[in-house]
């Protein structure tokens, strides 16, 4: 519907222009008259709009990565006396356990738990078999 109205309006305008010029209706190319104002360079792009956006985003990523790579790998931090004293106090408060992972508060010996000696005791001298059910 909109297209037919547009075509009708174009024809009416051309017809009126022809009347003003002296009766003889001269058809004019409506492509140049009613073309959207697009810069002619926009028509030269080989990529679509989304393709161009992707290229811009890729360029931005490359620039960010280059900026990160230009930064130094590490920075030597200058220490003042107050900072050194504060760090020493924090280090003295900090407790680093010798064992990683969760700690059991009270580990009971299996003999006291079950009242029976373990079938396969683990120690530095004795290593339990890997599949005890097969070694009966």
Residue 42 lies in a domain: yes
Structural domain range at position 50: 2-70
Q: Is residue 110, in this structure, part of any structural domain at all?
A: no
**Could you give the number of structural domains in the chain?**
1
User: Does a structural domain hold residue 115?
Assistant: no
In a domain, 124, yes or no: no
Residue 41 is predicted with a pLDDT of 73
pTM: 0.29
The answer to whether residue 96 is domain-embedded is no
In this structure, is residue 11 part of a structural domain? yes
Q: Which of 3-7, 31-35, 58-62, 89-93 has the highest mean pLDDT?
A: 58-62
Tens-digit pLDDT profile for residues 79-134: 788 888 998 899 888 877 677 777 676 666 655 555 555 565 666 666 666 666 66
- Asked if the structure places residue 113 within a domain, the reply is no
Compute the radius of gyration of the chain from its Cα atoms. 43
In a domain, 104, yes or no: no
């Amino acid at each position: 519907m909109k297209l037919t109205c547009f075509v009708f309006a174009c024809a009416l305008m051309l017809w009126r222009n022809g009347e003003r010029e002296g009766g003889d209706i001269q058809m004019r190319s409506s492509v140049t008259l009613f073309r959207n104002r697009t810069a002619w360079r926009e028509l030269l792009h080989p990529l679509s709009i989304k393709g161009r956006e992707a290229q811009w985003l890729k360029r931005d990523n490359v620039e960010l990565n280059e900026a990160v790579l230009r930064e130094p790998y590490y920075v030597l931090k200058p220490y003042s006396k107050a900072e050194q004293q504060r760090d020493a106090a924090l280090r003295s408060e900090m407790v680093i356990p010798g064992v990683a992972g969760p700690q059991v508060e009270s580990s009971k010996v299996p003999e006291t738990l079950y009242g029976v000696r373990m079938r396969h005791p683990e120690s530095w001298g004795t290593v339990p078999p890997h599949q005890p059910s097969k070694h009966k």
